[in-house]
Amino acid sequence: MNTKKNQYMPLIYFTITLLASFMQGTVSADEWLPASTKNGVQTFLRSVEHSKYKAVRGEAVLPVNVAKLVAVINDAPACPEWADLCAESYIQQQPSDQEAFIYTHNDMPWPVKDREVLAHLTWSKNAEGQVTMQSTAVADEIIRTTAKQKNIVRIARANASWQFTPLEDGNTHTIFEIHMDPNGAIPGWLLNRLIINSPFTTFESLTRQANKAKYGDAELPF
């Protein structure tokens, strides 16, 4: 399977999904500043205390319902189908329908070393039906040992979130935020692709994936 499709995240778990990410530093009081708008997607940047990397926010209305979007995010093995650079992803542990630990390996372009992350995902839903997911990178000795053997760089500081608000017409107002430290030198063009421009490709690929037949009968698991 080609793991270098146009999309994120995710690193959304990177994170992507990466893929990743995800923040152990403290977000500063700086406001979100508008960065760019394209194809109905607005992006914003914000400085983060104790980090040389900015946090990124994307916002758009997606033509798909909340349940399908949640189903895609929860479908870890399908990550390579839509998440840019995602080579492998799986649920390492799932304590409940609203919590999971997801491992993701991201295949980076040569000569950059591959990255991997173990993310702790938690889901919540309010009385109005708005669904929120928080994802934070966590330490894990087993994964760290694996990374050393595979010569893969471990991402330990990363944070991301999704917010899905259902609209009366069946569409979903979607907000995606990400901040991460890639843990090592990454060329500016690649970091820009993974982080700064990620909302544009992520929203497009997420919508396309959510409209696949296998998510047609998706229901919220919580």
Please give the DSSP secondary-structure letter assigned to residue 193: I
Q: Is the peptide bond before 63 cis (omega within 30 degrees of 0)?
A: no
| Contact status, residue 136 vs residue 155, Cβ threshold 8 Å | no
Per-residue burial over 95-127, b if 16 or more Cβ lie within 10 Å, else e, is eeeeebbbbbbbbbeeebbbbbbbbbbebeeee
Nearest residue to 34 (alpha-carbon basis) of 56, 53, 51: 56
What is the CATH topology of the domain spanning 33-215?
A: Alpha-D-Glucose-1,6-Bisphosphate; Chain A, domain 4 (3.30.530)
**Identity of the amino acid at 124:** S
Instruction: Give me the residue spans of the domains in the chain.
Output: 33-215
Which residues are registered as beta bridge partners of 106? 86, 115
Tens of pLDDT along the chain (222 residues)? 444 444 334 443 343 333 333 333 334 447 899 988 999 999 999 888 888 778 899 999 999 999 999 999 999 999 999 988 899 999 999 999 999 999 999 888 888 889 999 999 999 999 999 999 999 999 877 777 777 777 898 988 899 999 999 999 999 999 999 988 888 777 767 766 666 677 888 899 999 999 999 999 999 999
C-alpha to C-alpha distance for 115 and 24, rounded to whole angstroms: 18
- pTM of the complete model beyond 0.85: no
Which residues are registered as beta bridge partners of 173? 61, 165
